[in-house]
């Protein structure tokens, strides 16, 4: 059987994928239903917010929300793959009493449409540029925090629009993300270190090709790859609900951008204070990816603050909201005071 035949049978648009989509419920309706009854900081914010729509040059409609006092210092949170605004519930709930927290659904996720252009890293960077232009007022600069694909979007934005960095950004927090060489860093497959070249080949060959059914079918894998062994049942259920609310096959196709990813030039363009945060047990974008980013920033003359959170996985802001929120707030305060965070 050829690769094309395998793709026709088992690929994201193949017959198996169609059967899986028919056999599972559709995406969660709006509002994010699971978050209405989630415990503690995971619950959908009860804080009043302003909702707007930002239209991109290719017609994508991006759903944007602003929480908190209108005149407070702005923080922009950018979610990752297969997520939505509510992924940031813990940070919105913790920060919106003293900051203006700006969040948006990246294109194709949550309430945002896909637009005419093919999904890609450059497009995500341009989308962020449009959101910043629409929400960060004259005289303001925001702390930008991006998780996973959200961190990639920030680096892509900086690479494409280096002149906007000093205009819109006061500082940046890159959380559980990667700049390049995703297939060499990630630990998606349980292969020994000596088979890293094979692992990289398989990831690059099949990323964005094989269908991803409802995450609730893969509880153990979600725990080890999305979170970590110490994840609670509430954290696991919340993460599964967030992922399941992302439409398939879009959540599968979006992974394709990782096989050719290189947003390294964006790190050189981030001339503001940068903090890199990663869970020590992150298997999707392991600490090696964060160390590579830190080395690139240091080589560019902007050594970052580097934080490893023990025992946490890829979704570290869900597993230890206090630690990640404190890092965002610390950078916001120190950057506002004009002090470097090294």
Q: What are the residue ranges of helices labelled H in the chain?
A: 3-10, 15-23, 33-37, 89-95, 121-135, 149-160, 162-168, 182-185, 196-206, 219-221, 233-244, 250-253, 264-269, 287-299, 316-319, 321-336
Tokens (6 digits) for 133: 């232009």
Residues 74-101: tens digit of each pLDDT? 999 999 988 999 999 999 999 999 999 9
pLDDT value at residue 100: 96
Report the chain's mean pLDDT, rounded to a whole number: 85
pLDDT value at residue 9: 38
**Residue 89 CB coordination number (10 Å):** 24
Percent of all residues in the chain with a pLDDT value above 90, rounded to a whole number: 67
pLDDT value at residue 168: 98
272 pLDDT tier (thresholds 50, 70, 90): very high
pLDDT value at residue 201: 65
| CA geometry: angle 61, 264, 283, nearest 5 deg | 85
Residue 265 has pLDDT above 80, yes or no: yes
**Which uninterrupted H or E stretch holds 103?**
strand 100-104
Residue 215 has pLDDT above 70, yes or no: no
pLDDT value at residue 10: 36
Residue 259 has pLDDT above 60, yes or no: yes
Q: Rounded to whole angstroms, what are the CA distances from 33 to 28, 30, 241, 246?
A: 7, 7, 9, 13
192 pLDDT tier (thresholds 50, 70, 90): low
DSSP state of 180: B
pLDDT value at residue 47: 93
What is the residue-wise DSSP string for 281-319?
Answer: T-SSS-HHHHHHHHHHHHHTT-PPEEEEETT--S-HHHH
Higher pLDDT, 248 or 16: 248
Pairwise CA distance, residues 306 & 291, whole Å: 8
pLDDT value at residue 218: 62
Pairing of strands 169-175, 305-309: unpaired
Higher pLDDT, 97 or 209: 97
State mean pLDDT over 22-46.
Answer: 77
State mean pLDDT over 47-58.
Answer: 96
pLDDT value at residue 189: 66
DSSP state of 223: I
Residues 119-156: tens digit of each pLDDT? 999 999 999 999 999 999 999 999 999 999 999 999 99
State mean pLDDT over 157-166.
Answer: 98
Q: 274 — phi, psi (to 5°)?
A: -125, 140
Tokens (6 digits) for 231: 């994840």
Percent of all residues in the chain with a pLDDT value above 70, rounded to a whole number: 78
Residue 320 has pLDDT above 50, yes or no: yes
Among residues 143, 163, 191, which one has the least CA distance to residue 324? 143
pLDDT value at residue 313: 96
Residue bearing tokens 């509002």: 31
What is the residue-wise DSSP string for 50-97?
Answer: EEEEEE-TT--EEEEEEES-TTSPEEEEE--TT--GGGGHHHHHHHTT
Residue 21 has pLDDT above 60, yes or no: no
5 pLDDT tier (thresholds 50, 70, 90): very low
Residues 106-127: tens digit of each pLDDT? 999 999 999 999 999 999 999 9
Q: Give me the sheet containing 49-55, strands edge to edge.
A: 49-55, 61-67, 100-104, 74-78, 142-147, 169-175, 274-279, 305-309
Pairwise CA distance, residues 191 & 233, whole Å: 27
């Amino acid at each position: 059987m050829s690769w094309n035949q395998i793709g026709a049978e088992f690929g994201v648009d193949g017959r198996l994928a169609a059967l899986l989509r028919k056999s599972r419920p559709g995406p969660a309706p709006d509002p994010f239903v699971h978050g209405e009854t989630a415990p503690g900081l995971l619950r959908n914010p009860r804080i009043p917010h302003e909702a707007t729509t930002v239209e991109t040059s290719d017609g994508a409609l991006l759903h944007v929300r602003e929480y908190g006092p209108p005149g407070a210092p702005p923080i922009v949170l950018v979610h990752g793959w297969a997520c939505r605004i509510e992924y940031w519930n813990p940070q919105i709930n913790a920060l919106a009493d003293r900051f203006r927290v700006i969040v948006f659904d990246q294109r194709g996720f949550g309430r945002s449409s896909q637009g005419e252009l093919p999904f890609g890293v450059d497009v995500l960077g341009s989308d962020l540029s449009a959101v910043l232009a629409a929400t960060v007022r004259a005289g303001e600069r925001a702390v930008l925090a991006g998780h996973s694909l959200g961190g990639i979007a920030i680096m892509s934005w900086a690479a494409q629009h280096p002149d906007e960095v000093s205009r819109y950004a006061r500082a940046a927090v890159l959380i559980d993300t990667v700049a390049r060489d995703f297939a060499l860093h990630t630990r998606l497959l349980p292969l020994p270190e000596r088979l890293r070249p094979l692992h990289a080949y398989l990831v690059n060959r099949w990323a964005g090709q094989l269908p991803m059914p409802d995450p609730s079918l893969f509880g153990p894998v979600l725990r080890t790859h999305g979170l970590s062994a110490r994840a609670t049942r509430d954290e696991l259920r919340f993460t599964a609900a967030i992922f399941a609310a992302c439409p398939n096959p879009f959540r599968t196709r979006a992974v394709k951008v990782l096989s050719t990813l290189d947003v390294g030039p964006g790190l050189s363009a981030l001339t503001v204070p940068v903090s890199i945060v990663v869970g020590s047990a992150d298997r999707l974008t392991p600490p090696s990816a964060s160390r590579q980013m830190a080395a690139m920033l240091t080589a560019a003359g902007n050594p970052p603050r580097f934080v490893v959170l023990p025992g946490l996985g890829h979704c570290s802001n869900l597993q230890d909201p206090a630690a990640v929120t404190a890092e965002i707030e610390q950078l916001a305060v120190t950057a506002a005071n004009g002090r470097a965070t090294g």
